[in-house]
Structure formats: C-alpha cells, structure tokens
Amino acid sequence: MKFKFWGVRGSIATPGPSTVKYGGNTTCIEIRTDDDDLIILDAGTGIHMLGQQLLQQLPITAHIFITHTHWDHIQGLPFFAPIFIPGNSLKLFGGLDPVTHEGIERALNVQLQDSYFPVSEAELNASVEYNTIKAGETIRIGNAEITSILLSHSGLNFGYRVDCDHQSLFFTGDYEPLHNIYRPEDSQYATSQAFIDDKLKDIISLMQGVDALIMDASYTTEEYQTKTGWGHGTYNLALKHAALAKVKKLFLTHHEPTRTDQQLESIHQQLITNNPVINYDIILAQEGVENVF
C-alpha cells in the first residue's frame, strides 16, 4: 500500500507563492493497494489534479470515502474528470447527515444543482454508486479494510482506519478532541471527564499502532485559545494522540489557510526541538508527495 497527498490545506484553497511547497489544495488523499485498488479519502480541490492524472489510466473504479461534507472536503467532486466519461465507476462512501438524515448522495447532488454548477447529475456518464455507512462499520475493498469512527467536529465527521497488505493508516478528517467545558469544582465535571476519557480510549484503540497517522493539526496551542470550538485540533494534541496510539509516523495536515511554507517549517522545527524523546516521525503533509511505508 502507498498513499499520496493531493490536498493538505484546511477550509479554503490557498494557491500562491507562499504555499507553493506544501500546497494550496484542500483535502484529498489517494491510496493504492498492492493490487492497485484505488481508495480516495476526501474530495477537496486536490481531487481535480488526481482526476487529470487518472485520465491516463481509464477505465477506473474509484472508491471515495468522505469524512464529512464541509466544502473543503467535497468541493473537488464535480471537477473529478472521470465522472464524465462512460466506463468509469465512482463509489462514494460516507455517513448519514445528522441534521437532514440524508445519505452521502448529498455530497454530489447538492453541488450539481443548477444554481451552483452547469452540469446536472443526470448528465454524468460514469456509473455512480452511493454507500451510506454507519460509524464502526468496516468496508472491504479488495484486500483493504476501511473502518470508520465518529470523531468530534462541528457536525458529523468520520475518521477512517485503512488496513491492507500488512500496513495501516488512520486519517482523522477534521477533528477537535473533546475537552471538558466544566471546571473541576463543578458537579458535572467528573461525569463529563469520564465520557471524554471513554471516547478518547475508543479513538486511540482504533488508531493503535498504525504506520501512518494523518491528523488535523490546524492550530498552535496559542492560536487555539481563541479558536476553541471551531472544530479543529492543535499540533500538540496530534502529538499526544500519536504517542498514546504508538504510531510509527505522524503526518500533520489541514494546514491553516494563512500558514505559509516558512511558518509551517518553523513550527515543525519547534515541535522536534520541544519533543526530543519521541519514537515516531513527525512529518508535514505535502501535496504531490507519495509516501510508502
């Protein structure tokens, strides 16, 4: 199994000279199993370039797992060129919307309304299949097993663990680890903390020992003071999860849109300096870079 980042940016695409090294496209990860099955995690703007490359390999079957339907994770779907070409197959997986109770079909059909896009869903020439999945469900694609878990964000967000070819990765999508809103002297503090501890235990258990943990690390701890509740985590929270789950490599992603390449590298250097005795690699997710285990 190998994987490649096609988009690593959070919230909004940010092309330009200050993001040219790590990339400005929003979330998209391509996974290839040793049998060449194609699994894609999220369909942010990065999936456009992936689609262009796949035009050299038609016909294709793409299994696309959506963490959640915020724009930066689905916006590239209507621009994924293989969906317009007969013979290709697109299988979309994702959770039920907790508010509207609609399935994952909404990720595409909301965007293909006349008000937002010139081509309608009926005009797509590829075969498109929708699979609405439940938290905890495991889906098998060839030799790969993909297991979902509900992670806290604003609205529903699935983290996915992918196991294949004796290798494993975990992608959080957007994830703000739960925190206790009560003070230790409040009567609800202990109950709330017990719930948070249980939830973290379940998450760490599914992340346990993965070769690659790809985690939302949008903010510094300092920035987080004013962005608590916005649905994203920090660099230090990512390190905490990596240590608890004993992962081999930690990839930091969902780079904050105003973060320049230089700032990312400076933060990365500080993380390494401040954590001299960790036994996993800390890596900045970088668009266009293929990662082998």
Interface residues with Zn ion (CB under 5 A) are 10, 70, 72, 174
Q: Shortest Cβ distance from residue 22 to Zn ion (Å)?
A: 16
Q: Shortest Cβ distance from residue 129 to Zn ion (Å)?
A: 24
Q: Shortest Cβ distance from residue 135 to Zn ion (Å)?
A: 16
Q: Which is nearer to Zn ion, 7 or 10 (CB)?
A: 10
Q: Which is nearer to Zn ion, 82 or 159 (CB)?
A: 159
Q: Which is nearer to Zn ion, 48 or 70 (CB)?
A: 70
Q: Shortest Cβ distance from residue 231 to Zn ion (Å)?
A: 6
Render the chain in DSSP notation, one character per residue: -EEEEEE-B-SS---SGGGTTT---B-EEEEE-TT--EEEE--STTHHHHHHHHGGG-S-EEEEE-S--SHHHHTTGGG-GGGGSTT-EEEEEEPPPTTT---TTHHHHTTTSTTT-SS-GGG--SEEEEEE--TT-EEEETTEEEEEEE--BSB--EEEEEEETTEEEEE--S-------S-TTSTTHHHHHHHHHHHHHHHHHHHTT-SEEEEE--B-HHHHTTTTTSS--BHHHHHHHHHHHT-SEEEEESB-TT--HHHHHHHHHHHHHH-TT-SSEEEE--TT-EEE-
Q: Which is nearer to Zn ion, 72 or 256 (CB)?
A: 72
Q: Which is nearer to Zn ion, 11 or 33 (CB)?
A: 11
Q: Which is nearer to Zn ion, 37 or 102 (CB)?
A: 102
Q: Shortest Cβ distance from residue 11 to Zn ion (Å)?
A: 6
Q: Shortest Cβ distance from residue 25 to Zn ion (Å)?
A: 12
